[in-house]
Amino acid sequence: MATRKARLLLRAGSNVTVVAPQISAELEQLLADHGGVWQQSRYQETDLHGKKLVVAATPERATNEQIYRHAMALSLPVNVVDAPELCSFIFPSIIDRDPLLIAITSSGKSPVLTRILRRKIEAMVPAAYGRLAEFAGRFRQLVKEHIVQDTPRRLFWEQAMDGTLAEQVLAGREQQAEAQLRERLQDTHALHGGEVYLIGAGPGDPDLMTFKAARLLQSADVVLYDRLVSPVIVDMARRDAQRIYVGKKRADHTVAQTDINQLLLELAQQGKRVVRLKGGDPFIFGRGGEEIELLAKHRIPFQVVPGITAANGAACYAGIPLTHRDYAQSVRFVAGYLKGDKVEHDWSVFQSTTETLVFYMGLVGLPVICEQLQAHGRSPDTPVALVEHGTLLKQRVLLGTLATMAEVVEREKPTAPTLIIVGDVVRLHEDLSWFGEV
């Protein structure tokens, strides 16, 4: 207890004296590192003289009470650890985003509630917010000189701290942010330009989105989304944000890829903040590269936010480790769609029995995939799992082998999206999963 309190106080820059006959090696080191003092003796009233703040953390209730009384007599703020009735001040739970500091307390009523709340706030306030505060601090005076009146200055900062400029800082591009800030100072009425966020929404379960994805999604003016993105995730956008469905189904291209690229560009050029939501990760079979190519060419600012790809999500939820010390030392993500009636690959490269293969977009091509792997030498007994609607509540795992899987699929008629996992790691499913299976 004493060590924890001392660490907090030292970190805040206090001069700390610890009075105790013995202290832990950790505390001793902490004091040495921060110029604190260890006074090796039992507590006496005179120890309080000249001090500004007192923490009693002895294991003896009587001593703690005595310290409390002495401190009160000297009008010193005092905290007795784990005894709220003997505290004139408290140590709240803190979220440290130096120079930002958020303190939470339930006034001793429910530390658990405090912890839950803290977790929520931690998630809402990205680690980089400290940098943002630092950045704002650096330009506070400059902005004050440029915008003398209070209200326009407040508006300027409101826009800066909640817009593309803040995003630049959070993304670590402080130079660009500074350039943007200086530019805006020249013309405080100028509309800020558009920006595109290419966001991986994960494989389905909304909880698998990143904090960054959720935050940027909530800042969007327009959201373009795929068929693979759960409706719950699309609903996380602001209520008045425009939503545009650009989903693609196999052989039913609702909006052609070039049109999507063009749409992203035009919306950004109108000054909108555009979110392009993609299933899984934008750079894994997501054509994310093509979408930002055009933006880059037109110098539209963009960010790409990684997502949990279907292979990772589905494998974890199905209890199939993609690598394993004993079964697989590598894993390969493979496109499994049909071109005509073929899946085009150099099948001879898929022969390693210590490599897990994960086929995306392989449902229709599954019989061809199983057949080709065997034709090129993989054993018919090689285990295969097909994960249907991975990570969603309706997730189903179908099991078979290269020899039997086509039949299993024929019988069970799974629907897209599905993922096919091939390799010995599939055997671990039985031990490592708790989902229903067929």
Per CB under 6 A, residues contacting ligand SAH are 203-204, 228, 278-281, 284-286, 309-310, 314, 360-361, 387, 389-391, 416-419
User: Shortest Cβ distance from residue 193 to ligand SAH (Å)?
Assistant: 28
Closest listed residue to residue 360, CA positions, set 390, 318, 399, 321: 390
Q: Are 345 and 357 in contact (CB under 8 A)?
A: no
Closest listed residue to residue 59, CA positions, set 23, 6, 92, 87: 23
User: Shortest Cβ distance from residue 162 to ligand SAH (Å)?
Assistant: 29
Tokens 């199939």: give the residue. 320
CA–CA distance, 396 with 389 (Å, rounded to integer): 7
User: Shortest Cβ distance from residue 386 to ligand SAH (Å)?
Assistant: 9
| 427 dihedral zone (left: phi>0; alpha: psi -120 to 50; beta) | alpha
Q: For the chain, first and last CA: distance in Å? A: 53
Q: Are 429 and 408 in contact (CB under 8 A)?
A: no
Q: Which residue is nearest to ligand SAH (CB)?
A: 280
> How many CB atoms within 10 Å of residue 217?
24
Closest listed residue to residue 210, CA positions, set 322, 309, 117: 309
**Residues contacting residue 94 through CB under 8 Å, at least 6 positions apart:** 101, 102, 103, 104
DSSP-assigned letter for residue 328: B
Cβ-based nearer residue to ligand SAH, 160 or 233: 233
> How many CB atoms within 10 Å of residue 42?
11
CA–CA distance, 335 with 249 (Å, rounded to integer): 15
User: Shortest Cβ distance from residue 301 to ligand SAH (Å)?
Assistant: 23
Cβ-based nearer residue to ligand SAH, 164 or 418: 418
User: Shortest Cβ distance from residue 385 to ligand SAH (Å)?
Assistant: 11
CA–CA distance, 421 with 424 (Å, rounded to integer): 10
Cβ-based nearer residue to ligand SAH, 146 or 248: 248
Cβ-based nearer residue to ligand SAH, 56 or 422: 422
Retrieve residue 215's tokens: 């935050």
Cβ-based nearer residue to ligand SAH, 285 or 350: 285
- Residues pairing with 192 in the sheet: none
Cβ-based nearer residue to ligand SAH, 310 or 426: 310
User: Shortest Cβ distance from residue 292 to ligand SAH (Å)?
Assistant: 14
Closest listed residue to residue 130, CA positions, set 172, 100, 173, 94: 100
Retrieve residue 206's tokens: 């909304």
DSSP-assigned letter for residue 78: E
Cβ-based nearer residue to ligand SAH, 126 or 247: 247
Question: Annotated active-site positions, please?
Answer: 226, 248
User: Shortest Cβ distance from residue 410 to ligand SAH (Å)?
Assistant: 18
Q: What is the DSSP string of 329-388?
A: SEEEEEE---BTTB----GGGG--TTEEEEEES-TTTHHHHHHHHHHTT--TT-EEEEEE
Cβ-based nearer residue to ligand SAH, 166 or 208: 208
